[in-house]
Copies of this chain bind each other. A is one copy, B any other.
Amino acid sequence: MANVLRNSAKFGCSGVLSQLSIHSRHGRECVSPCFSLQQRNNSTSPKIKVDLDNSTGVAVLRMQSPPVNSLSLDFLTEFCINLEKLEMDKSCRGLIITSTLSKVFSAGLDIMEMYGKSPERCGEFWKAVQEMWLKLYGSNMATIAAINGSSPAGGCLMSIGCDYRIMADNPRYSIGLNETQLGIVAPFWFKDTLVNTVGNRAAELSLELGLLYSAPDALKIGLVDQLVPEDQVLSTAQDTMSKWLVVPDHARQITKSMMRKQTIDKLLSNREADITNFVSFITKDSIQRSLRMYLEMLKSRKA
């Protein structure tokens, strides 16, 4: 954890909203951090593909929503429905989450769900974000994130909601809860999950500075558990899962609940207040102005 600032952490590829020009020097490698702009194609094609291998009891959930697997309301709804199905399927014991896209696992929450939307719609969206985390962090399945690309903000939340994290050994890929960089504050349950994963001090530094960690640096602070060559992320996840499934399910499940119940209960008993907080923050004029600037910057970069 030492020397995080000096050696290992990068200040996102975005800088802050007020410093959008920083973006230009990063070029095409850069995944829009924190908020992402999803193509509006009104497509009804599924954003998520699930394959359950009945012989092993392991499902692979592939996120396939170009360009960056943004967590839109539609995406989150589809994600939760799939998770629920697998959870109730007695033959499914393990879940691997990965991405079909090149260079990105998930770029996080979809900015379009937060810009120019009604408070009701914003609240609905936030509830879906909560639901994704509640289902994942409390899943009875053994869950492994096969992180084959960058994973900022909401993508990082999804990753640390799993039981184990395997990331592509590529220093260009980054992961972290970088909300602060954009003037946004990660809510308490993002924070709690991060503290549970990397400890209080690393979480404090990480959140106060909105740090994005390169894959090697993420390994150093324990934000991911293992790095493997990019083409072995999924196969390693499969191998690792087979070890997790040696453990009797009920003992693993009770143990997992013992470790995570308190953190989950804290959101459950503050869910409405958390939604109210988010909505009142995101609908502020100043924040909406910032989002518009950010949006225009994303669009211009695309062009």
- The residues of A with any CB-CB pair to B shorter than 8 Å are 1-6, 11, 15-19, 163-164, 179-186, 188, 191, 195-201, 203-205, 207-210, 219-220, 222, 224-226, 240, 243-244, 246-248, 250-252, 254-256, 258-259
Contacts and interface: CB of A to CB of B under 8 A. Distances in A.
Majority secondary structure, A binding face: helix
B204 A201 contact: no
A208 B163 contact: yes
20 contacts: A2-B220, A2-B222, A2-B224, A3-B219, A5-B243, A11-B243, A16-B247, A17-B248, A179-B251, A182-B248, A182-B251, A183-B250, A185-B255, A191-B258, A199-B201, A204-B259, A208-B244, A208-B256, A209-B243, A209-B247
A258 B185 contact: yes
Contacts of A188: 258
B185 A196 contact: no
Contact of A255 (B6, B180, B196, B198): B180
B200 A196 contact: yes
A53 B197 CA distance: 38
Contacts of A179: 251
Given A5-B225, A199-B201, A207-B259, 20 more contacts: A2-B220, A2-B225, A4-B225, A5-B243, A16-B247, A17-B248, A19-B246, A163-B208, A183-B250, A191-B255, A191-B258, A195-B200, A196-B204, A198-B201, A199-B199, A201-B222, A204-B259, A207-B255, A208-B259, A210-B247
Nearest to A249: B183
B18 A248 contact: yes
Contacts of A251: 179-185, 210
B180 A252 contact: yes
Nearest to A186: B255
The 8 closest A-B pairs by CB, nearest first: A183-B248, A180-B251, A185-B254, A204-B259, A2-B219, A1-B222, A183-B251, A207-B255
Contacts of A201: 196-199, 222
